Chains A and B, each alone.
Chain A
Amino acid sequence: MKRRFFGLALLALGLTVALPAAALPKSLVPEASFTTLQGKTQTLGAYRHRKLMVWEVASWCGSCAAGLRVMQQHAAELKKAGVTVILLQVYKNGGYPGASMHDLVKRFAPKLLSASNWVIGIANADFAKIYNPGHYADIYYLINPDGKVAAIQSAPGSTYPTIRRFIGQ
């Protein structure tokens, strides 16, 4: 019994790196909506035909904070490559209290607040349903100008090579 428990625990740990992509969208969903820090409601459709990174974070998540730092370091590279980054707090911050989206970005990547290719906001319920049905604290999509999802990953601080490959496409 004890052995079976530890076996299951090890199996569960082994599953932690790969994001199961079965239920996640494979292309841009134009009607998915979010609210910007300025309080405007926007849809993803407004960013069609662009090289897009859509990144959802929770403000209490360690990999999100680490990812913000790394993304700020690469901000110029992303801008030069024409990538628009839509950075959104997960719907209702995942149901757990934490810093506001503005405070999170201000603390870990303040330059991104004024970067012209960054759109920062909060995911609406419909957005969460489409782009984060698995309730991940840290998940991002790389979307080509034709609307097709090129990659789905988490923790850009550790997976920046994936973003670099997307930039280079």
Chain B
Amino acid sequence: MRESLAGKLESLLAALGLVFGEKAYAMAGIATFALALPAYLMVLPSSFTGGRIGPAAMHYLTPRLWLFAVLMAGLLALMLPVAAFALRHGGRVKTVYGAGGLLVAIGTPLLCCSPLIPIVVGAIAAVIPAAGRIGLPIQGFVATHETLFFSVATALLALGLYGNARRALGCSCEVSTSE
């Protein structure tokens, strides 16, 4: 039977309560956020710097980029301790969504206006010459759909958090039933 959205939210909150009830995981979450937020703030605006990631990129931050950086850093800060909790309690962690979210968030600003796509397409074009023409349109598409890509990255991180929260709860149930 499929769980309702309210049920999913309830499970998520229960898992967060369980994990962050332990001081070590709460501290790990805070530390992750403290590291991830500046990283996102330097990565997300790098489409304005031709792919150069660093404090200089922060000059180009907009309210939209701030919002995505806080959201993604927050989700990462919740997801990693939850995954660590599940792993430590013998559960399996789901890395595909979280890793996908990270890659999409980092890759998007670099795909436009940096040499990344031209290098990759150039390598493909060495074998299939016609492929050389697709490099710029791909960059154009990414550049004009950046908000969509960042939303997908955020959704992937949210899915990663939810998946790992379920595993953390599953571990907790297994532990409690074995007692």
Which residues of chain A have a CB within 8 Å of any CB of chain B?
Answer: 6, 9, 12-13, 15-20, 58, 60-66, 90, 93-98, 134-138, 154-155, 157-159
B136: chain A residues at CB < 8 Å are: 58, 90, 94-96, 135, 137
CB-CB under 8 A for A60 and B140, given A17-B52, A158-B49: yes
Closest 7 pairs (CB-CB, A-B): A96-B140, A155-B50, A94-B136, A16-B51, A158-B49, A63-B113, A62-B47
Q: Is the CB of B137 within 8 A of A94?
A: yes
B56: chain A residues at CB < 8 Å are: 158
**Candidates B99, B121, B140, B143; contact of A6 at CB < 8 Å:** B99
**Candidates A20, A136, A137; contact of B143 at CB < 8 Å:** A137
A116 smallest CB distance to B (angstroms): 28
**Cβ contacts B55-80/A at 8 Å (1 or 0 each):** 01100100000000000000000000
Once the chains are docked, how many angstroms separate the CA of A121 from the CA of B131? 27
Q: Is the CB of B144 within 8 A of A60?
A: yes
Residues 120-137 of B contacting A (Cβ, < 8 Å): 120-122, 132-133, 135-137
Which residues of chain B have a CB within 8 Å of any CB of chain A?
Answer: 47-52, 56-57, 60, 99, 103, 106-107, 110, 112-116, 118-122, 132-133, 135-137, 139-141, 143-144, 146
**Candidates B110, B113, B132; contact of A137 at CB < 8 Å:** B113
Q: Is the CB of A94 within 8 A of B139?
A: yes
**Smallest Cβ-Cβ distance to A15: which chain B residue:** B119
A111 smallest CB distance to B (angstroms): 20
**Candidates B48, B60, B120, B140; contact of A94 at CB < 8 Å:** B140
A98: chain B residues at CB < 8 Å are: 140, 144
A112 smallest CB distance to B (angstroms): 18
Q: Is the CB of B115 within 8 A of A19?
A: yes
A95: chain B residues at CB < 8 Å are: 133, 136-137, 140
Q: Is the CB of B113 within 8 A of A135?
A: no
Q: Is the CB of A137 within 8 A of B99?
A: no
Offer 18 A-B interface pairs, CB within 8 angstroms, sorted by A.
Answer: A9-B103, A13-B110, A15-B116, A17-B115, A19-B115, A20-B119, A58-B140, A61-B140, A62-B48, A65-B48, A94-B140, A95-B133, A96-B139, A135-B132, A137-B136, A155-B50, A158-B49, A158-B50
